[in-house]
Chain A
Amino acid sequence: MIVGASMGGLRTAESLRRSGFDGEITIVGAEKHLPYNRPPLSKALLAEDKELDSVAFKINTEELKADFILGNPAQSVDIENKEATLSSNEKLSYDFLVAATGLRSRKMDFQNLVESGRFSLRTYDDAKRIRSSVATGKHVVILGAGFIGLELAATLRKLGCSVDVVAMETTPLAPIIGELFGKEIQKRHEAKGVHFHMNNSVKDLIGDSFVTGVILGDGKSLECDIFIEAVGSLPNTEWLEGSVLDKSNGVLTDKTLRAVNSDGKVIESFFAVGDIARFPYVNQQLPARRIEHWNIPIEGGKRVGREIANAANPGSVGDFNPTEQFNPLPSFWSDQYEMSILSYGEPKIADEIELIKGSLDTDFIFSYRRQGALVGAAGIGLRQELNKLRNEICL
């Protein structure tokens, strides 16, 4: 049973079949849609007002032979008796469960509860709602200068909106890729007409039946037609409340992505994949972490599919080594205007950041080191140079 009809859920099912698993696979999802690719939601899908089929993953139904239960999220699980309960109260028993419920947008707590004109972006439906409200000349305020906030800023500028970005940090993306890199991205956005309000916050919304503006932390106000919160995400683990798992931040796992309970005991039949999995480092002496990068569900799904196929029929997955530790190389990319940012590893754990190639006003590469070891590399352009560094990263 796979809980989460997401990319991670789909990749797990595919990996199960490719590893020879011939048991039943049930995939349960909260959204009514089959798995689709989320990154275009803030970019091409929004810019070109495309439909779901442009982002839906191609599914080979004959090979997958999976039963999708959509629009019916799991509401609880009984790990001891291996039984999950869906929102419809239907109960499903399982031999193995893969938790791939991902994240949802974090929402601010404002006094003004006005809903119309207030948006966040996580799902296809969210993107369509934003799209149906934007038009040339509309004024948008985006709270948050992370990747989603900035990609939205770029897309909405392209659509002819005026855009203000409000964020609490001093420099966009600085906590993730460093001060200089972040500053350069801010500069390029400003050249496209985006206004930044850094070291600031949104204290409350203005408007009775729809949003007409925001009150900033510094007391000033901004008028707007559309307010979008892009202030990060929270793991969807409510359905695991009451279970013995360690779910203090996502689902804690061991180095094979099997869930661990609060006493540190490994649960053999329960796996976590993707954004919600908090998994240990193999080489770095740092606490287990969740990684919200696009390739992590792919790597995790592949691993867990093989793991379960092998556990269901020991020795059946010929080249599988069950003692091998899960140690994916995180990567992410971001397209904003003509900028294509690409990153490998975990730049944010670095204690030393250095511009090693190119120059800030054109294409460049930064290296990220922690105690001398390369833990990340990121840049704009210079693809082959950057791709060469990928294999030197040690996490």
Chain B
Amino acid sequence: MIKVHVDMEKCQHYGQCVFEAPDIFKLNAEDRLEYLATAEDSESANVRAAADVCPMQAITITE
């Protein structure tokens, strides 16, 4: 399992991570980011890509 953490102080809800890992990240009805704190290993590449494209660099992954 991979641990996913988003620093919500930094996050500006741009939702770029949603495009890369839609099963882990989503924008809710109020356009706020929601995410799963753990992900299957098979999501590793997607979650890393999500962390790369985060404009605020707010996503940390522990594998």
B52 touches A298 (CB 8 A): yes
Give the distance to chain A from B13, nearest Cβ to Cβ, in Å: 6
In the complex, what distance in Å separates the CA atom of A58 from the CA atom of B27?
Answer: 25
Least CB distance, B17 to chain A, in whole angstroms: 11
A-B contact count (CB 8 A): 37
Chain B residues near A387 (CB-CB < 8 A): 15, 18-19, 27
Closest to A386 in B: B15
Residue of A nearest to B59 (CB): A58
B15 in contact with A298 (CB, 8 Å): no
Q: How far is the CB of B48 from chain A (nearest CB, A)?
A: 8
Q: How many Å lie between the Cα of A390 and that of B15 in the bound state?
A: 12
> Which residues from 8 to 22 on chain A have a C-beta closer than 8 Å to any C-beta of chain B?
11, 18
Interface residues in B30-45 by Cβ distance below 8 A to A read 31, 45
A340: B residues at CB distance < 8 A: 12-14
Interface 0/1 of A30-50, CB less than 8 Å to B? 000000010100001000000
Are A57 and B15 in contact, CB atoms less than 8 angstroms apart?
no
Whether A383 lies near B14 (C-beta < 8 A) is yes
B53 in the interface, Cβ–Cβ < 8 Å? yes
Smallest beta-carbon distance A220→chain B, Å: 38
A382 to B15 alpha-carbon distance, docked (Å): 11
Q: Which of B13, B14, B52 has the most CB of A within 10 A?
A: B52
Chain B residues, CB < 8 A from A295 = 16, 53
Interface core residue of A18, A294, A383, A390 (most chain B CB under 10 Å): A383
* CB of A237 closer than 8 Å to a CB of B: no
Are B60 and A331 within 8 A (Cβ)?
Answer: no
CA distance A379 to B45 in the complex (A): 30
Which A residues are in CB contact (< 8 Å) with B18? 387
Q: What chain A residues lie within 8 Å of B12 (beta carbons)?
A: 333, 335, 340
In the complex, chain B residues whose CB is within 8 Å of the CB of A37: 57
A384: contacting residue among B27, B55, B57, CB under 8 A:
B27
Q: Nearest Cβ in chain A — how far from B56, in angstroms? A: 8
Known contacts A37-B57, A57-B57; decide if A342 and B19 are in contact (CB<8 Å).
no
Q: Could you tell me if A383 and B31 are in contact, using CB atoms closer than 8 angstroms? A: yes
Please determine whether B19 and A390 come into contact, CB atoms closer than 8 angstroms: yes
Contact of B15 with A384 in the complex, beta carbons under 8 Å: yes
Q: Which residue of B lies closest to A36 (CB)?
A: B57
* 9 smallest beta-carbon distances between A and B, as pairs: A383-B31, A333-B55, A37-B57, A384-B27, A383-B15, A387-B15, A340-B12, A333-B14, A298-B52
Return 8 A-B CB contacts under 8 Å, by A number: A37-B57, A44-B10, A331-B16, A333-B55, A382-B31, A383-B27, A387-B15, A390-B19
A57-B57, A340-B12 known; 4 new pairs, CB 8 Å cut-off, are: A294-B55, A383-B15, A383-B27, A387-B18
